[in-house]
Each structure stands twice: as C-alpha cells, then as structure tokens.
Amino acid sequence: MKPIAAKPPRDSAVTMTEIVLPSDANALGTIFGGKIMAWIDIAGAIAAGRHARRVVVTASIDALHFIAPVKVGHIVHIRASVNYAGRTSMEVGVRVDSENAVTGEVHHTATAYATFVALDDHGRPTQVPQILPETPQEKRRYEQAMKRRQSRIQLAEDLKNTVEEE
C-alpha cells in the first residue's frame, strides 16, 4: 500500500454551532448529556472523515468530562480536530463551549476524546493519512494523544484478558 501524504489538523477541523431548545433539556432546564454526546460524535466524525476522506465509524469515546451546565437558550460551540492518526484510526479532540445568547458570556462546558476508524468500500478498516502537527498547540495535542493511545491499547488488552478469564 503506497503511503498517503500527511495532513495538518487545520485541514479537517470542524466548528459546529447549535442552540439549546426546550426539547434538548431536562426538568432543570439544562441540556441532556446525551445531546452533547451526540453533537460531539457528529463533529468528531466530520473531522475524522475530512482527514481520511473516507467513511468513518466511532470506535470509542474514552474521555468525556462535563465541566459546566448548559441552559435552554444558550448557544453551543463544538470544535473538533484530529490530534493523532495511526494506521487506520484517528483520535479527535472535541471541545464544547456554551454562550449565553443574552450576555455573550462563554463557558467551557465539556471536553472529549474520541477514536474513529476509516473504512474502505467494503466496510473494512483502511489506511489514513498521518497528522502533520505544525503549531506548538498541535504538537502538544499530538504528543498527548500518543500517550492516550498507549493507555487505550493497554485498556483493550486488560479488557480482553478479563473477558477470557470469565
């Protein structure tokens, strides 16, 4: 298989903007966590798909941290970019911020790391371009993603061993 040219994260970065409607919220008037998770998955898939120029599937979301509540009427900004690319998989970092539409005040709401796998025309994992981090921030994200990848590999091995023991 011939090598694919590496790409910088900016080439596939995604910014989505949504508004929180009453149907998105619980009885307290704050957004359902699952709604934010769905938006994270969509933004992440778009970024990974742009990077790979292939259909992608979600392999895992290994870290999702809710930091602040989001209220009905707030505007939600979801930013996603590919931090690391392996042979067939990509880690995408997603940051969610909420904006009070009346005051303009913005709060960091959630952060997540998701792994996506690119598929070929037959639905099998296929090679993706490597990431070419250029800025200091992209290089830091790349280095941190490599560490998280090692943790994911170890966790998968541990889970496999646990299942085999049962």
What is the model's pTM? 0.90
Q: Poorest-confidence range of 1-5, 87-91, 98-102, 147-151?
A: 1-5
pLDDT at 1 over 70: no
Work out the average pLDDT over 127-151.
Answer: 94
Residue-level pLDDT at 158: 85
76 touches 17 (CB < 8 A): yes
56-70 pLDDT, tens digit per residue, is: 999 999 878 899 999
What fold characterizes domain 9-165? Thiol Ester Dehydrase; Chain A (3.10.129)
- In the predicted model, what is the mean pLDDT of the chain? 94
Torsion, Cα 10 16 17 22, to 10 degrees, reads -150
Residue-level pLDDT at 163: 72
Residue-level pLDDT at 166: 67
